[in-house]
């Protein structure tokens, strides 16, 4: 087991490989997304049980709208049909759900469900799950700047003040960022928040991820020496 005293406070995951997982099995991409949803629930439970406090999941990016209309529609269908239906899971595990991303750019019914699930779980004191939906790191930074620019009596712009205008300013910086499916890039995910994150890249497709994969990533993280630009003697 990873050392409970040296866990990342904030874990981010780029859940990649659903479509390829399905294609390698002769299935449609929608089947991969269904399995990816199961993996997200499985890893969320494992993160909660391990003692991680904040988990950000890259669900749907601002660039994902470029995909085939059928695939995008199915992803919105999954969101609509699961955000509120997982209430028992949230309650049993004391999970608080928050959202990062451009909310007005989502279908009205998805917007409504996101608002509802955040309100319903606001009192829970366990793992905070940040769902990045219609999210792009560059878009978040631009929207944050516009919030600052349009706020009356805006404070001088510095790193600390700017952070207050991000989508989830109460979340700490990302300590460990995981990406699955063998890709080695950030893909516009939590650019500001991941300035000093440790990266962990896995060759396994996201639907194949298990509790043990998470434990391996956490153990690897605990071997890292984090300097934050300084020098350890």
64 in active site: yes
Which tokens go with 3? 């050392």
Catalytic annotation, pick one of 16, 113, 167, 213: 16
102 in active site: no
The whole-angstrom separation of Cα 78 and Cα 1 is 33
First to last CA, the chain: 29
Which tokens go with 223? 């071997």
Q: What are phi and psi of 99, to 5 degrees?
A: -130, 140
Provide, for the chain, the percentages of residues in helix, strand and coil under a 3-state DSSP scheme, each rounded to the nearest 5: 45, 15, 40
Catalytic annotation, pick one of 3, 18, 64, 139: 64
The gap from C-alpha 153 to its chain's centroid, in whole angstroms, comes to 32
Q: Residue 131: which of 163, 167, 156 has the closest Cα? A: 167
**Residues 6 or more apart in contact with residue 183 via CB below 8 angstroms:** 14, 16, 201
Catalytic residues: 16, 64
């Amino acid at each position: 087991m990873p050392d409970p005293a040296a866990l990342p406070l904030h874990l981010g995951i780029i859940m990649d490989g659903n479509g390829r997982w399905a294609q390698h099995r002769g299935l449609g991409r929608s089947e991969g997304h269904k399995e990816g949803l199961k993996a997200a629930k499985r890893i969320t439970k494992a993160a909660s049980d391990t003692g991680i406090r904040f988990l950000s999941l890259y669900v749907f990016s601002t660039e994902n709208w470029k995909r085939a209309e059928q695939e995008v529609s199915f992803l919105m269908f999954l969101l609509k049909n699961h955000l509120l239906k997982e209430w028992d899971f949230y309650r049993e595990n004391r999970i608080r759900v928050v959202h990062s991303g451009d909310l007005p750019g989502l279908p009205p019914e998805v917007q409504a469900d996101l608002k509802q699930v955040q309100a319903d779980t606001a009192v829970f004191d366990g793992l905070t799950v940040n769902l990045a939906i219609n999210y792009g790191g560059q878009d978040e930074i631009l929207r944050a700047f516009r919030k600052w620019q349009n706020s009356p009596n805006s404070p001088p712009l510095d790193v600390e003040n700017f952070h207050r205008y991000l989508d989830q300013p109460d979340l700490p910086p990302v300590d460990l960022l995981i990406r699955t499916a063998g890709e080695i890039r950030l893909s516009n995910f939590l650019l500001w928040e991941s300035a000093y994150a440790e990266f962990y890249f896995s060759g396994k497709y996201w639907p194949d991820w298990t509790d043990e994969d998470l434990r391996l990533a956490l153990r690897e993280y605990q071997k890292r020496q984090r300097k934050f630009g300084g020098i350890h003697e």
